[in-house]
A and B are shown apart, each in its own frame.
Chain A
C-alpha cells in the first residue's frame, strides 16, 4: 500500500463524506458549505492525478464562482438560519433504495469489464500542450467547441438577465 494509494482513499472518503453531508443536512447554509468542501476535495483529487490545469479550473469556477453564486441566492431568497423540513419517510426510503440499486447495477457492470492498458506513450498534460490543442484548428483541435461555448456563455448571460429582470411597473 503506497502513499499515493492512502492519499487517494483519504481523498475519496472526504469527497463522499462531505457530499453525503451536503445532501442530508437540514440547514441550508451548512449544505452549501459542505458542497464547497466536496468540490475542494475533488480538486485535490485532480491534483493527485497530476492534472493541475483541471484542478485550477475547478477551484476557480466551481468553488469560487458557483458556490458563491449559490450562497448569494440563499441570502436573497430566505433566512439562512432556518431549518428545512424533513422529507417524508416514504420518499427517503424509496430514494435510498433507488440509489443503492443504481449503484449496485452500475458497479456490477463496471466490474465485469476489464480495462486494457494503453500502449502509447503518455503526453504531458501541461498547460502549453492544453493551450496548443485548444487553439488547434485541425481535427484533433478544440477551437470549434471553444467558440461554441463562448457563444453559449453569452446566451446564458443574456438569458439570466432577462429572466431575473424586474419589470418596471408603469405609473398611471
Chain B
C-alpha cells in the first residue's frame, strides 16, 4: 500500500506561494510573481493528478469498493467522552481524508486554478499590485485544497472561513472602487451569517456523536445502535435534533453556494477581476456547499425526516429562480453568475433526490458529482472567455459588444463549445452529467424533474442569448487594436475547451459513488430525447431573437411587462434585505442595544466612579491635618476594640 505522504504538499505549496509572494513579492518579485505562483501550482497539480491516478487506479479499492483513507492524522486536543460506549470524546485534530470525492476535488481545484494562473499572466499584466494578486490566488488555492482534504468537521470549518477571507480579499482587489468594497463586504457578511448556522450544526453533531472526525461520525450516526439514537429522539420545537443539525449545516453550505435566499452576494461578487470569478465563483468556492452535503451524505440520508428534502427544494427553486433572472440581465458577468447559481441548484437537488445503498437510488449522488466535475471546466471556460472579451472591449455590457467572432476567433470557438456543453447538447460533457441528474430526479421526484426540464430549457436559451449578443448581433465597435490577447490567455481557453468537450466520456460512475461501490452508467437514449429537444428549442428561440439585431426581444419584454421588470430587478430580493436590515433590525435591535450600552452599561460604570468620588469627598475630612482629631479617632478605635474584647471574653458576643 503506497504511502500518500506527499499529500500534505498539495495544499502547502500554494501556502508557501502566498507567504513568499505576500511578504517579498512587492519588493523583489514584481514581474516574476506570476511565474512563481504558477510554477508552485503546477507542481501541486502534478501531485494531485498523481494522487488521483494512485487512488483510482491502483490503490483505492479494497474488495472492489472505494474506501476512505486517512493518511495523516495529528491529534491536537483530546477530550474525555461521557456517553455510553464512548471512551474518548471529541478530539480536535488535523487530518487528511482521501476518498473518491476528495480526490476528484483536488484534481478539479488544482487544474482550474492552474488555468486561471496562466490566464492571469496575460490578463493582469501591467497591474500595479500584480504580486498581491498572485499571493491572494495562492492563498485561496491553499484554503480550498485544505477544505476538500479536511478529515474532520472543525478543520473543514477552519478552511471554510479561510476560503471566505480569500474570497473577500479577491473580490475587493480593486479596493479604490467603492462598489468593489461594498461587494466584498456583502459576500463576507452573508457567508459569515450562514457560517454561524454551520457552526451550531457542527456543535450539535459533535455533541451527540462524540466525535468530529468524518469517518467515525458517519459510522456512529448511521449505525442502528440504540445509544446514539438520542439524536433522533430528542427534539426541539418539534423537530429532531438530527434534522436541526443537518438543516443548520445545510444553511451554512447554502450561504457559500449561493442558494436562495443567501444568493445575494454572488452577482455583486463579479466586481472582482474576471479570472477570480472564474476560479472562485464558478468552479471551486461555490461548490463548497455541495461538497459539504456530499461529505456528510450518509448522515443526510439516514435522517428520518427533512434531511434531504430541504436540500432538494432549495436547490430546485434556486435553479429556476436564477435561470429566470439570467434571461434578463445585460451585464455578461452577471448572466454567468446567475448561471452558476442555477447549475449549483442542479447539483444540490441531484444530491437531494439521491438515496444511499441501492444501486438505482444512488444515481443522484454520482450525477451531482459528475456535474460538479464538468461544470468546473465549462463554467471557468465561460468566465475566462468573458474575461478575454472584456479585455478587448473594456466594458461588461452586452450593448458594447457584438460581432466579435471576426476579431477573436479562438475565443469564439471555445466559448461556443462551452455554451453547447452547458446547454446539454451531445456529445459535449454537460449533456452526460445533466442527463444523469434528470434521470435521478425522474426516478425519485417527478415534480423536481419537471423543474429541472424547464430550467434546462431556460439555460440553453439564456446562454445562447449571451453567445449571440457577444459574437453575432451587430458589427463590432472596436477594431482589434490590440488583438485577441496574449498566448497565455489563449492556451487555457483551448485546454479547457478540450476538457469540456471530452470530459463527458469519463466513466464517472466507476469512480465516484456514494458508498464506494462502482456504478455502471446506463445510457437511456429514449429518456435523453426530452431534455435535448428542449435545449434545441431554447437555442432556436435565442437564435431567432438575438442572432441579428432586431426589436423582437424588446417587444416580448414589454408584453411581459411587470414580470420582466421584476426579473430584471432580480425580484427585488436585495431591496427586501435592505428593508429588513435598515428598518427592522437597526430600529428594533440596533437602537435599543445602543441605548442600553450607552445608558445602562456605561451609566453603571459612571455611577460607580461618581459614587467613589462622592464618598471620597465625604470622608476626606478625616485627614484634616489636625493632630488632635487623629488622637481622638485613635482613642475611639482603642475603646471600641476594648469593649469588643471585653464582651467577647465574657461570652456576650459570639464570633
Contact = CB atoms under 8 A, between A and B. Distances in A.
Nearest to A99: B635
Interface stretch (A15-23, A50-58, A101-109): A101-109
A148 interface: no
Contacts of A105: 639, 642-643, 646
Nearest to A95: B632
Contacts of B632: 94-95, 98
B646 A101 contact: no
Interface in A84-113: 91, 94-95, 98, 101-102, 105, 109
B636 interface: yes
B642 A98 contact: no
Interface residues of A, number: 8
Nearest to B628: A91
A94 B635 CA distance: 12
Contacts of A94: 632
A150 B635 CA distance: 32
Contacts of B646: 105, 109
Which applies to chain A's interface (DSSP): helix, strand, loop or mixed? Answer: helix
Interface string B622-642: 000000100010011001001
What secondary structure prevails in chain B residues at the interface with A? helix
Contact of B639 (A91, A95, A101): A101
A91 B633 CA distance: 12
Contacts of B635: 98, 102
Nearest to A106: B642
Interface in A36-63: none
A74 B642 CA distance: 37
B242 to A, nearest CB: 78
B639 to A, nearest CB: 6
Contacts of B642: 105
Contacts of A95: 632
Contacts of A91: 628
Nearest to B650: A112
A53 to B, nearest CB: 33
A98 B636 contact: yes
A86 to B, nearest CB: 15
A101 to B, nearest CB: 7
A28 to B, nearest CB: 17
A105 B635 CA distance: 13
Contacts of A101: 639
A120 to B, nearest CB: 30
A98 B629 CA distance: 13
Contacts of B636: 98
Nearest to B629: A91
Nearest to B635: A98
A109 B646 CA distance: 9
Contacts of A109: 646
B646 to A, nearest CB: 7
**In the complex, the 8 A-B pairs of residues with the closest C-beta atoms, listed nearest first:** A98-B635, A102-B639, A105-B642, A101-B639, A105-B639, A105-B643, A109-B646, A98-B632
Interface of B: 628, 632, 635-636, 639, 642-643, 646
Given A98-B636, A105-B639, 13 more contacts: A91-B628, A94-B632, A95-B632, A98-B632, A98-B635, A98-B639, A101-B639, A102-B635, A102-B639, A105-B642, A105-B643, A105-B646, A109-B646
15 contacts: A91-B628, A94-B632, A95-B632, A98-B632, A98-B635, A98-B636, A98-B639, A101-B639, A102-B635, A102-B639, A105-B639, A105-B642, A105-B643, A105-B646, A109-B646
